[in-house]
């Protein structure tokens, strides 16, 4: 009898654990191009830990962000909505220069607020870039704890006294990427007994180009000094991801944790040597090099391992996916969709009929194989399946396709707000 009771108790416990809400870890890198990651074909700089996410989960080969620069992409990521709907079209500039109105709209619920309301412990580590004023602080936007900096860039080697724990400055001494990894691991240690959401926003590999000294020797064979520095920065980022994944393993949470890895925009190659090939252009542009990014989703035991997913998806999808796995009702008015049934193979067809971009005078739309690029009074059309490098403009040869994408873009564009800060919009075609 005793044995039977124990068996029933064990079975119930097992069932309860299976039903428990999964933890969610969202890791974002900064200014990292696809082509530097081993998982996306990079050969020069080993990234075994980020690659392990692709081996253990689903690697998206048409993953996008909603803007080719930092802050607007993060606004879309946090809200699950195209950020131009609420005027968050541009970067703010540094704190001293930012316009008074800058900050993630307080009317838009964040992923952290939604998960918190679903019983999650919510922690953030890293770069915020969504408001400098007290009302926009991460802990006013759904996070229980915060360690990081509020701006868009930060020194790595002299973190100094403007790194915040909560709202209090701390005198951080460690190389900043290592400090963020340390804090993320500590957050997991403290939060592991209930469902948690960790938003880990590394500023690596964004400038300044500060080498991690202890990793320099490993890359002594890279002749170009800037590239060598970059290699140490990326290596530190990969080590940080590894530290977080090791912590999940140590606490036996791997099968109970959904992990996202993405970057906020394509690599600014001339600035930090990051590579976007075979994509055209870099950060700041709506060609693929600015918006087509590494995007990996791992949930061991729930999503297939080593799967490659080809249909276009976007960072806006992370918010509704997280809410769905947390057991929440689908939030209204989101542009993102729950990716889980698509990645698992339960749902066929693409998650989106179309994806759109507007960044000042540059605009773009992707529908199926086709991409429209609008800039400087000119419309270009590319077939991305045949021409991922956007070399051959087919707008003259395919007038009907051009019209179709232009009409879809115009409909979407008519729903957007004017930018609340930043450069005035120039006339578009
Ligand atoms: Ca960035």
- At 75-109, the pLDDT tens digits run 999 999 999 999 999 999 788 888 889 999 999 99
| 397 CA from centroid of ligand 1 (Å) | 35
Place of tokens 């202890």: 214
- How many other C-beta atoms can be found within 10 angstroms of the C-beta atom of residue 165? 13
Question: What is the enclosing helix (H) or strand (E) of 298?
Answer: strand 295-298
What is the model's pLDDT at position 16?
45
Q: In this structure, what DSSP letter does residue 252 have? A: T
Using the predicted structure, report yes or no on whether residue 353 has a pLDDT greater than 60. yes
Cis bond leading into 200, ω under 30°?
Answer: no
Read off the DSSP letter of residue 196. Answer: E
Residue ranges and CATH numbers for the domains of the chain are: 21-344 (3.40.720.10), 355-413 (3.30.1120.10)
From the CA of 8, how far away is ligand 1's center (Å)? 52
Q: What is the pLDDT of residues 216-273, one digit of tens each?
A: 999 999 999 999 999 999 999 999 999 999 999 999 999 999 999 999 999 999 999 9
Tell me phi and psi for residue 196, to 5 degrees: -130, 155
CA distances from 287 to 77, 216, 277, 362, 371 (A): 20, 33, 12, 9, 9
- From the CA of 152, how far away is ligand 1's center (Å)? 8
The DSSP-derived string for 106-127 is TTS--HHHHHHHTT-EEEEEEE
Question: Annotated catalytic sites, by residue?
Answer: 70, 129
Higher pLDDT, 427 or 170: 170
Measure 20 CA to ligand 1 centroid, in angstroms.
Answer: 34
DSSP structure class, residue 41: T
pLDDT over threshold 50, residue 159:
yes
Query: What band does 13 get if pLDDT is binned at 50, 70 and 90?
Result: very low
- Residue 103 and residue 314 in contact, taking contact as beta carbons nearer than 8 Å: no
What is the C-alpha end-to-end distance of the chain, expressed in Å?
Answer: 78
Rounded to the nearest 10°, the torsion over CA 88, 126, 25, 236 is: 120
Distances (CA, A) of 386 to 155, 369, 392: 41, 8, 10
Residues whose CB is under 5 A from ligand 1 (ion)? 30-31, 70, 264-265
CA of 289 from ligand 1 middle (Å) equals: 13
Q: Would you list the DSSP string of 126-176?
A: EE--S-SSGGGSGGGTT-SEEEEESSS---SS--EEEEEETTEEEEE-S-H
pLDDT of the residue at 103: 97
Containing H/E element for 321?
helix 318-325
Give the phi and the psi of residue 334 in degrees, each rounded to 5. Answer: -85, 150
Query: 301 alpha carbon to ligand 1 midpoint, in Å?
Result: 32
Can the peptide bond before residue 257 be classed as cis, meaning omega within 30 degrees of 0? Answer: no
Q: Ligand 1 centroid to 67 CA: how many Å?
A: 10
The Å distance, Cα 295 to ligand 1 centre, comes to 15
Report the relative pairing of strands 295-298 and 58-60 from DSSP bridges: antiparallel
Predicted structure pTM score: 0.95
Q: What are phi and psi of 314, to 5 degrees?
A: -140, 155
Average pLDDT score, the chain: 94
Distance 401 CA to ligand 1 centre (A): 32
Cα–Cα distance measured from residue 69 to residue 403, given in angstroms and rounded to the nearest whole number: 28
pLDDT at 19 over 90: no
User: What spacing in Å lies between the alpha carbon of 402 and ligand 1's midpoint?
Assistant: 30
């Amino acid at each position: 009898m005793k044995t039977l009771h124990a068996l029933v108790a064990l079975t119930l416990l097992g069932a309860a654990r299976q039903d428990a809400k999964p933890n969610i870890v969202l890791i974002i890198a900064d200014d990292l191009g696809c082509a530097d990651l081993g998982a996306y074909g990079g050969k020069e700089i080993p990234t075994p830990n980020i690659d392990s996410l692709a081996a253990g989960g689903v690697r998206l080969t048409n993953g996008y962000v909603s803007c080719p620069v930092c802050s607007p992409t993060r606004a879309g990521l946090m809200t699950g909505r195209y950020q131009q709907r609420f005027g968050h079209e541009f970067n703010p500039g540094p704190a001293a220069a930012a316009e008074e109105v800058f900050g993630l709209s307080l009317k838009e619920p964040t992923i952290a607020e939604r998960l918190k309301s679903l019983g999650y412990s919510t922690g953030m580590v890293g770069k915020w870039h969504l408001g400098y004023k007290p009302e926009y602080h991460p802990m006013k936007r759904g996070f229980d704890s915060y360690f990081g900096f509020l701006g868009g860039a930060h020194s790595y080697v002299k973190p100094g006294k403007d790194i915040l724990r909560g709202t209090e400055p701390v005198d951080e001494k460690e190389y900043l990427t290592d400090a963020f990894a340390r804090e993320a691991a500590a957050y997991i240690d403290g939060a592991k007994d209930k469902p948690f959401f960790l938003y880990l926003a590394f500023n690596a590999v964004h400038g300044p180009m500060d080498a991690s000294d202890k990793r320099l020797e490993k890359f002594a064979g890279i002749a170009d000094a800037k590239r060598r520095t970059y290699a140490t920065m990326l290596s530190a980022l990969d080590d940080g991801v590894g530290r977080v994944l090791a912590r999940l393993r140590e606490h036996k949470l791997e099968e109970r944790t959904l992990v996202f890895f993405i970057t906020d925009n394509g690599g600014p190659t001339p600035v930090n040597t990051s590579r976007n090939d075979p994509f055209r252009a870099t950060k700041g542009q709506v060609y693929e090099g600015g918006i087509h990014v590494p995007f990996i989703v791992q949930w061991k035991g729930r999503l297939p391992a080593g799967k490659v997913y080809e249909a276009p998806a976007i960072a806006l999808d992370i918010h509704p996916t997280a809410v769905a796995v947390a057991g929440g009702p689908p939030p209204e008015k989101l542009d993102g969709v729950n990716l889980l049934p698509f990645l698992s193979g339960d749902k066929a067809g693409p998650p989106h009929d179309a994806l759109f971009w507007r960044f000042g005078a540059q605009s773009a739309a992707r529908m199926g194989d086709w991409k429209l690029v609008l800039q400087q009074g000119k419309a270009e059309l590319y077939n991305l399946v045949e021409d991922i490098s956007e070399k051959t403009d087919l707008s003259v040869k395919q007038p009907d396709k051009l019209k179709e994408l232009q009409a879809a873009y115009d409909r979407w564009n008519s729903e957007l707000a004017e930018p609340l800060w930043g450069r005035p919009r120039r006339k578009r075609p």
